[in-house]
Amino acid sequence: MSVPRYWREIPSRYRLIGSKCVNCGKTYFPPRRVCRECGSVSLEEVKLSEQGRIITWATVYDPPRGFEKYVPYIVAIVELDDGTRIMTQITDCEPDEIHVGTRVYAVFRKIREEGESGIIYYGYKFKPLK
Amino acid sequence: MTKEAGIIGYGAYIPMYRIKACEIGKIWGNHNGHVPIMEKAVAGIDEDLVTISVEAAKYAIRRAKIDPKEIGAVYIGTESKPYAVKPSGTIVAEAIGATPLVVTADFEFACKAGTEAFQACIDHVLSGRIKYAMAIGADTAQGRPGDQLEYTAASGGAAFIFTKRSNKTLAYCEGAVSFVTDTPDFWRRAHEHYPMHAERFTGEPAYFYHIINSVRTLMENMGLKPSDFKYAVFHQPNAKFPVKVAKKLGFTMDQIKPGLLSPYIGNCYAGSSLVGFAATLDIANPGDRILLASYGSGAGSDAFSFVVQDIILEKRNPIPSVRDMIGVRKYIDYSTYVKFRGKIRA
Amino acid sequence: MRKVAVIAIGYTKVKEHWGLSIRDLFTEAAIMALNEVTIDRVDALYVGNMSSGYCQHQEHLGALMADYIGLKSPPAVKIEAAGASGGMALREGFQAVASGLHDFVIVGGVEKMSDVLTPDITYAMAMAADQEYEAFIGVTFAALNAMIKRAYQHKFGVSDELMATLPVHCHDMASKNPYAQYPFKITVEQVLSSPFVAEPLRLLECSSPADGAAILILCPLEKAKEFTDTPIEIVGVGAATDAIALYQRDDLTTFKATIEAANIAYKMAHIKPEEVDVAEIHDSFSVTGVISLEDLGFFEKGTAAKAISEGEIAPGGKIAVNTFGGLKARGHPIGATGVYQAVEIVKQLRGEAGKNQVDNAEIGLTQNIGGVGGTVTVHIFRRVR
């Protein structure tokens, strides 16, 4: 991945920054310029909730290039407490420890590395609330 | 002197994975069961120095109840930087929302890099130039497979936010000493993966000499004796050394017990004494005096005296205590451990 | 708008064609189609393909293929909409003829996935998803569909056994198809004991990487009889998009874009779902096919898998589906699939489907999905009497 592409998304990925439509209130992640609901171009930056629940999930056994050493890993759609949905990994747990509806919270983790000499990609993952 | 520097928030983070020392011993032929600790904390495959620092820092900010944008300095003391060149501090500062007006650097002084950061932060806030200064000590220390230090090299860290002492600070610093010599007891050359150490030389001329001197100098400067302290936290490379140095200096087991965590989490290097300090703050009461003495190979010791303030009682919930965090654990075997720690050459 | 007909078809076997390059593949299918009819000019070429840039480092496929199949400098372009590239290429070709701009148009689809290694194929396929907020965190295309399967099963209580009936049916159909990637039957037990690709999706519920090319030649219906006795008219053309990121959907158990595209196509063709005799639907995964059957209006939400188990999509059932094996068993060379589907409907409506022939097939439908429903095309075909 190119350095500029990674760097550009840092605020969203490090701090869960999304957008909120000033007109209709809908929240988005990642941030965007135009509201899908009402077409408004008045959207403001907003910090999203760091807790939510699992809507659905899957355990990856066949990885894409770059994720080989993490297999098996869990990916899930999480609905944050403010209603925004995001796609994330669920970490620090086994597949049999979660189910649809499990409450989870955001943690800061390594997503992967660009080999031995490239940069390290960091971002959010979620783990079950105990 | 320094009595105007206080701590407004602190937080620790210990990864949840554990490997028992006897599990390591099994692989390396240690069948007589003499191990320097019971079990140690292992960073997960998606954790590193940066992620541990961010978690500890976020707890500290929550406890401090401050706007992270007002943090003017973020220092990370560590020997497990994921980049040899590129500050870990910028990643942490960005993740906690302290950028862009912030002074950032990574400090290295083996296991005392975290208290190095303390020294700098204390002076920042005393000078008045920076409102909040954060010091983090954390590591994901690597132990050479089969070496003695593999039993204890662990992962963990803690973050402390310093500011001018007020009724909002939960402890203030009344004295600080740094005692340093050039003593090569433990080192890692630039392109080596694992450190080297000088075995028994790391004891008396290194660990004990520096801690004893830093603490005695501190107590002399301040006219204090061991019994003036409620608690004492020493750098904890294993279970024996901190107990022995406490005894030599005249501190009791009761004084060091709350901050003595190495038997359960191992030696998290630059995080070691800081995590012990955090665990002590978790149970300390207003008015308690706490000694904090780190040790970093190379070598040196920082000694501080902190006095706990009233507001500490309000600063407990709902942030998990260090003991709470240690209680959440999952045991892994040696093969999972080497996979997590990247020791397998693929 | 003029009426449009298909007058010729061409295709290659679906397999790992180690010895054929992407241009060889396309050319082989084109030669087969050009042999069916004698036309003296081609006015435009549309090439459906998803990943030539990543897998072959080759873009500019329109001009490349126009040259290699021996055309005399027509306008040509690569059409990309992930898995719906073929369907969208067909739509572009239809528009060109229907508008009156062009008379003879070649619509093709081609994909050559075996040029890269498996983890790279997985990486390439994830380009259909949101790169920065889905693929970035390690989501694979299979994982996305696995999440859909879990949500679907959570909502409708459909068992893994019932889900497995779709790939079993598709393999049944492919066993009589000489150009299929996997021309053999499988059982539900085999499906349920195959390893997980992304839990809860198992290997035998997932279509596999493949190479292939398929071609259609279109012309205005009014001219078609000059070139073939069996022109097939394209009577319904629908397409729609949705947010490509799965997590931005409201309902994970349906593809809104399928429903919208189908409604447009049905309306244009003046037919209802019940009137479709044969359908080639997008079963990239078991659950995707099951959901598609429901979204196309053939079965009620939550009931398609049960209907499959009761024989409703086999010849003689309510509607014949994936009569040559579908994506699972005929194969899924991504950008070519939408065109293979059309080729198969044309064969059925012409009466040239051999062992897989559906009796009295008058109306056929193809449904082609890009990503997890980010783009869907639906085309309806009718035998010309």
Separation of alpha carbons B160 and B64, rounded Å: 9
A65 & A118 share domain: yes
A74 & A117 share domain: yes
Which residue type, as a one-letter code, is found at position B221? N
Instruction: Pick the residue of B13, B46, B49 with the most A CBs within 10 A to test the interface with A by mutation.
Output: B46
Q: Which residues of A touch B (CB under 8 A)?
A: 10-11, 14-15, 69-70, 89, 91-92, 107-111, 120, 122, 125, 130
Which pLDDT score, from 0 to 100, does residue C345 have?
98
Q: How far is B205 from chain A (nearest CA, A)?
A: 38
pLDDT value at B34 more than 90: no
Sheet holding B155-164, edge to edge: B103-107, B71-77, B132-140, B155-164, B5-13, B171-183, B298-308, B289-293, B231-234
User: Average pLDDT of chain A?
Assistant: 96
Exposed/middle/buried for B152, CB within 10 Å: 0-12, 13-18, 19+?
buried
Q: How far is A98 from chain B (nearest CA, A)?
A: 16
pLDDT value at B304 more than 80: yes
| Smallest CA–CA distance from A119 into chain B, residue | B83
Instruction: Give the bridge partners for C377, in sequence order.
Output: C239, C368
- Decide: B306 and B172 in contact? Cβ < 8 Å: yes
Query: Active-site positions of B?
Result: 79, 111, 235
DSSP assigned state of B320: P
Rounding to the nearest 10 degrees, give the CA dihedral for residues B200, B202, B207, B213: 90
Which pLDDT score, from 0 to 100, does residue B30 have?
83
pLDDT value at B154 more than 80: yes
Q: How far is A130 from chain C (nearest CA, A)?
A: 24
Contact B48 A120 (CB under 8 A): yes
Question: DSSP letters along B78-144, please?
Answer: -S--S-SSS-HHHHHHHHHT--SS-EEEEE-BTBTHHHHHHHHHHHHHHHTS-SEEEEEEEEE----
| Smallest CA–CA distance from A67 into chain B, residue | B46
Separation of alpha carbons C379 and C262, rounded Å: 8
Contact A92 B44 (CB under 8 A): yes
A80 & A128 share domain: yes
Which CATH fold would you assign to the domain C130-207+234-379?
Peroxisomal Thiolase; Chain A, domain 1 (3.40.47)
* CA C332 from centre of chain: 8
A with B: touching (≥3 Cβ pairs within 8 Å)? yes
Separation of alpha carbons B5 and B21, rounded Å: 40
What number is the average pLDDT over the span B264-271? Answer: 96
pLDDT value at A93 more than 70: yes
**CATH number of A111's domain:** 2.40.50
Residues of C in contact with A76 (CB under 8 A): 147
Contact B46 A125 (CB under 8 A): yes
Q: Give rounded-to-5 percent helix, strand, coil for chain C.
A: 40, 20, 40
A116 & A58 share domain: yes
What number is the average pLDDT over the span B233-238? Answer: 96
Separation of alpha carbons C132 and B97, rounded Å: 21
- pTM equals 0.93
Separation of alpha carbons B149 and C87, rounded Å: 62
Which among B55, B82, B94 has the least Cβ separation from residue A120?
A: B82
Structural domains in chain A (count): 2
Domains in chain B, please, with CATH?
5-169+316-340 (3.40.47.10), 171-313 (3.40.47.10)
- Decide: B302 and B109 in contact? Cβ < 8 Å: no
For C4-117+209-232, give the CATH class: alpha beta
pLDDT value at B317 more than 80: no
User: Average pLDDT of chain B?
Assistant: 95
- Residues C187-237 have pLDDT tens digits of 999 999 999 999 999 999 999 989 999 999 999 999 999 999 999 999 999
DSSP assigned state of C12: -
- Residues C24-67 have pLDDT tens digits of 999 999 999 999 999 999 999 999 999 999 999 999 999 999 99
A12 & A59 share domain: no
Where in the sequence is the domain holding A81, given as residue range(s)? 49-130
Where does the pLDDT of residue B1 fall: very low under 50, low under 70, confident under 90, or very high at 90 and above?
Answer: low
- Decide: C272 and C365 in contact? Cβ < 8 Å: no
Which residue type, as a one-letter code, is found at position C157? G
- Residues A6-35 have pLDDT tens digits of 999 999 999 999 999 999 999 999 999 999
Separation of alpha carbons C53 and B233, rounded Å: 60
- Residues B326-346 have pLDDT tens digits of 999 999 999 999 999 998 877
Closest C-alpha among C334, C352, C336 to residue C344: C352
A102 & A89 share domain: yes
A-C CB pairs within 8 A amount to 111
Which among A15, A91, A130 has the least Cβ separation from residue B46?
A: A91
Helix (H) or strand (E) holding B171: strand B171-183
pLDDT along chain C (385 residues), means of 10: 97 97 98 95 97 97 97 96 98 98 98 94 94 95 97 97 98 97 98 97 96 98 96 98 96 98 98 98 98 98 98 94 98 97 98 94 98 97 93
Tell me the H-state helices in chain B. 21-27, 49-64, 88-96, 113-127, 209-222, 240-249, 253-256, 262-265, 272-281, 322-327, 334-340
Which pLDDT score, from 0 to 100, does residue A42 have?
96
- Residues B42-81 have pLDDT tens digits of 999 999 999 999 999 999 999 999 999 999 999 999 999 9
Rounding to the nearest 10 degrees, give the CA dihedral for residues C290, C295, C297, C300: 60
Chain C contact for A126, CB < 8 A? no
A53 & A84 share domain: yes
Sheet holding B39-42, edge to edge: B39-42, B17-20, B330-331
Q: How many residues in chain B?
A: 346
Which pLDDT score, from 0 to 100, does residue B336 have?
96
pLDDT value at B2 more than 70: no
According to CATH, where is 3.40.47.10 located in chain C?
4-117+209-232, 130-207+234-379
Closest C-alpha among B251, B259, B275, B73 to residue B157: B275
Contact C138 A89 (CB under 8 A): yes
Q: Which residues of C touch A (CB under 8 A)?
A: 118-120, 122-123, 126, 130, 132-140, 142-144, 146-151, 154, 195-201, 243, 245-248, 252
Where does the pLDDT of residue B3 fall: very low under 50, low under 70, confident under 90, or very high at 90 and above?
Answer: confident
Where does the pLDDT of residue B318 fall: very low under 50, low under 70, confident under 90, or very high at 90 and above?
Answer: confident
Longest dimension (CA), chain B: 57
pLDDT value at A91 more than 80: yes
Rounding to the nearest 10 degrees, give the CA dihedral for residues C354, C356, C359, C364: -110
- Residues B185-195 have pLDDT tens digits of 999 999 998 99
- Decide: B301 and B179 in contact? Cβ < 8 Å: yes
Contact A87 C119 (CB under 8 A): no
Handedness of CA C239, C243, C244, C247 (dihedral sign): negative
Query: How many other β-carbons are positioned within 10 Å of the β-carbon of residue C385?
Result: 5
